Amino acid sequence: MTTMTTETTRVHPATSDPAEGLQRHLSLGTTISHTFTMAWRALKKMRRNPEQFMDVTLQPLLFTAMFAYVFGGAISGDVSDYLPSLIPGVLAMGALTACMATGVQLREDMDKGVFDRFRAMPIARIAPLAGPMVADLVRYALAGTLTFAAGIAMGYRPGGGVFGSVAAIALVMVCGWSMAWIFTWVGTWARSASSVQGISMMFLFPLTFLSNAFVPADTLPDWLHAFVNVNPVSHVVSAARSLANDGALSGEVGWSLLTCAIVVAIFAPLSVRSYKRSM
């Protein structure tokens, strides 16, 4: 092992002031650059641990087929009639499950030594959280594409065409990314990865199943109907339906995006605060 003594001049001459010329604030550009570097790290990690893709590959395929054949006849009288309302539902569910994994993996990651290094480095505090979330867009895109592919294989012909379908997937990706901030926040304070999973499930099940994702909301009792109507997942599903099936940009799209913005505005600062405090 050689050392740096070969350099004729010392790196830190005694006459210089080390505290001179330090950066007091991080610019927005630096913050974005840090976030993308962290996203690169998360993508490398995904490529080396392909089992992480299980939930976004198997689940859309399995759930699309399962729900279509089990509920199709009962709800719409026919599998192919059910598909137009089911596919956007599975799409939303897939994104929600995928963003729950974001929180679980963050917790796992934070327990590793490398996070100590990130904490001791002069980097944007939001980058270690936002980076993996940017990388997770790949997962949402994969889940969305596979859901549509499974639907199309079963006879679904989206009325909105390619544009409508892509727009629906894009909307769900944005929503998944925004909702992931909730689970990221849980990840910053929960004690372990499995507790993140448990806590997230508690949110996730009512949100997905008490929505219009799989059944028409008007078949439900009034009190439940009221909840389903305010459930943000219902708005996302309705918005995705109108995009995919009619190629129409309905008001639901606006509501969905507004909800997403509110979620990010609340949970992103909470997550960063909680991350700074942890350890």
Partner 1 sequence: MNTSPTKSSALDRPSEVAVQATGLVKVFGDNRAVDGIDLDIRRGEIYGVLGPNGAGKTTVLKMLATLLPMDGGRASVFGVDVRDDPHLIRQLIGVTGQYASVDENLTARENLWLFGRLLGLGSGQARSRALELLDQFGLQEAANRPISAFSGGMRRRLDLAASLITRPPLIFLDEPTTGLDPRTRGQMWDTIRGLVADGCTVLLTTQYLDEADQLADRIAVIDRGRMVAEGTPDHLKESVGSSSLHLQVTDRERMTDAAGLVERVLESTPVLTPEAGGITAALTSADRTADVLIALRDADISVSSVAVHKPTLDEVFLAITGRATDDETDRDQELEVAR
12 binds partner 1 per the rule CB under 8 A? yes
Stated as kind and residue range, the H or E segment containing 139 is helix 127-153
Q: Of the candidates 31, 32, 45, 248, which one interacts with partner 1 according to CB under 8 A? A: 45
3-state secondary structure at position 150: helix
- Using CB under 8 A as the binding rule, the residues of this chain from 101 to 120 that contact partner 1 are 112-120
| Structure tokens that stand for 167 in this block | 């727009």
- Using CB under 8 A as the binding rule, the residues of this chain from 48 to 77 that contact partner 1 are 48-49
Q: Of the candidates 8, 23, 77, 223, which one interacts with partner 1 according to CB under 8 A? A: 23
| Structure tokens that stand for 90 in this block | 């599975």
Q: Of the candidates 18, 50, 77, 221, which one interacts with partner 1 according to CB under 8 A? A: 18
Q: How far is the CB of 54 from partner 1 (least distance, A)?
A: 17
276: Cβ contacts below 8 Å, ≥ 6 apart: 125
Comparison of 40 and 69: residue with beta carbon closer to partner 1: 40
122 binds partner 1 per the rule CB under 8 A? yes
257 binds partner 1 per the rule CB under 8 A? no
Q: How far is the CB of 131 from partner 1 (least distance, A)?
A: 10
187: Cβ contacts below 8 Å, ≥ 6 apart: 102, 103, 104, 105, 106, 107, 110, 196
Comparison of 78 and 116: residue with beta carbon closer to partner 1: 116
| Structure tokens that stand for 139 in this block | 């997962």
Q: How far is the CB of 249 from partner 1 (least distance, A)?
A: 39
Assess contact for 86 and 72: CB atoms under 8 A: yes
CA–chain centroid gap for 224, Å, is: 27
7 binds partner 1 per the rule CB under 8 A? yes
User: For 247, left (φ over 0), alpha (ψ -120 to 50), or beta?
Assistant: left
Comparison of 13 and 77: residue with beta carbon closer to partner 1: 13
Comparison of 23 and 230: residue with beta carbon closer to partner 1: 23
| Structure tokens that stand for 151 in this block | 């639907």
Q: How far is the CB of 244 from partner 1 (least distance, A)?
A: 36
Q: How far is the CB of 79 from partner 1 (least distance, A)?
A: 42
- Using CB under 8 A as the binding rule, the residues of this chain from 142 to 201 that contact partner 1 are none
Q: Of the candidates 41, 107, 139, 241, which one interacts with partner 1 according to CB under 8 A? A: 41
Neighbour count for residue 195 (Cβ, 10 Å): 15
Q: Where are the beta strands (DSSP E) in the chain?
A: none
37 binds partner 1 per the rule CB under 8 A? yes
28 binds partner 1 per the rule CB under 8 A? no
**Counting beta carbons within 10 angstroms of the beta carbon of residue 27, is it exposed (0 to 12), middle (13 to 18) or buried (19 or more)?**
exposed
Reference 210, options 235, 239, 233, 179; nearest CA is 233
40: Cβ contacts below 8 Å, ≥ 6 apart: 131, 135
Residues at the site binding partner 1, with contacts judged by CB under 8 A: 1-5, 7, 10-14, 17-20, 22-26, 30, 33-34, 37-38, 40-41, 44-45, 48-49, 112-123, 127, 279
